[in-house]
Amino acid sequence: MAGAVAATLVLAAASAVAFAAMSGSFRGPAPTAPRCGTPPLAGTVVNVTLADRGGGMMSGRYGPGPMMGGPGGMGMMGVLASAGVVAAGTVSLRALNEGGRPHELMVLPLPAGQMVGQRPVGGDGRIDEAGSLGEASRSCGAGSGAGITTGSTGWTTVTLSPGRYELVCNLPYHYAAGMYTELDTR
């Protein structure tokens, strides 16, 4: 009988810990506002949220975001764009990092017939950047840098022809963890 009671207590404790982890109780506080502002941006502005929320992130909000148990145990990650379709021409992407680690945003043309998340990931955990049209990886600035830090914003302005594009984070293993979304232009 004592064994059954002990097993029940262990199961209850494990359930409480799992629930707390899934509800986000073990995460640090999320940034409430960007650490830096952005200047007026040209063209159509698309706000992009870069996130890593462990197992508590809902896949419907940030895209597919599969569970990732690989290097660093990253959990679920995602990219959320404020618009899925914009007019072709000048498009500015303002990327806010709401995650707990650095991220970046790259704009890659999406080949006909290819879905987002299907690019091959190399041994270094990254995808091929050939053909990139723009990058936001500088905290509080435009263009490339060392990554957008937690709570910071980076941006890039690109000229997009009508078509399909994939917005990705290409830091090691982030793409494989679900950091991609589609942006279409008409």
pLDDT digits (tens, 9 = 90+) for 122-146: 999 999 999 999 999 999 999 999 9
- pTM confidence score: 0.73
The pLDDT of residue 89 is 98
CA–CA separation, 174 and 151 (whole Å): 18
Q: What's the token pair of residue 71?
A: 């290097």
Give the CA-trace dihedral at 36, 40, 46, 52, to 10 degrees. -10
Q: Where are the domains positioned within the chain?
A: 1-30, 34-185
Domain 34-185 has CATH 2.60.40.420: yes
**Confidence bin at 34 (pLDDT 50/70/90):** low
Asked if the model's pLDDT at residue 104 lies above 70, the reply is: yes
Q: What's the token pair of residue 129?
A: 């950047």
Asked if the model's pLDDT at residue 171 lies above 80, the reply is: yes
Full 3-state SS string of the chain:
CHHHHHHHHHHHHHHHHHHHHHHCCCCCCCCCCCCCCCCCCCCEEEEEEEEECHHHCCHHHHCCCCCCCCHHHCCCEEEEECCCEECCEEEEEEEEECCCCCECEEEEECCCCCCCCCCCCCCCCCCCCCCCCEEECECCEECCCCEECCCCEEEEEEEECCEEEEEECCCCCCCCCCCEEEEEEC
Bridge partners (DSSP) of residue 89 are 160
Higher pLDDT, 29 or 76: 76
Query: Which residue in this structure is represented by tokens 């599969």?
Result: 66
The pLDDT of residue 33 is 52
Asked if the model's pLDDT at residue 153 lies above 90, the reply is: yes
Q: What number of other Cβ atoms are within 10 A of residue 130's Cβ?
A: 6
Percent of the chain with pLDDT over 90: 67
Tell which residue, 25, 31, 23, has the closest CA to residue 58.
Answer: 23
CA–CA separation, 153 and 136 (whole Å): 9
Asked if the model's pLDDT at residue 17 lies above 50, the reply is: no
The pLDDT of residue 1 is 55
pLDDT average, residue stretch 34-38: 80
Query: Could you read off the pLDDT of 40-86 as tens digits, one per residue?
Result: 999 999 999 999 974 333 333 334 434 333 333 344 899 999 999 99
**Please, what is the average pLDDT of the chain?**
79
The pLDDT of residue 53 is 73
The pLDDT of residue 8 is 40
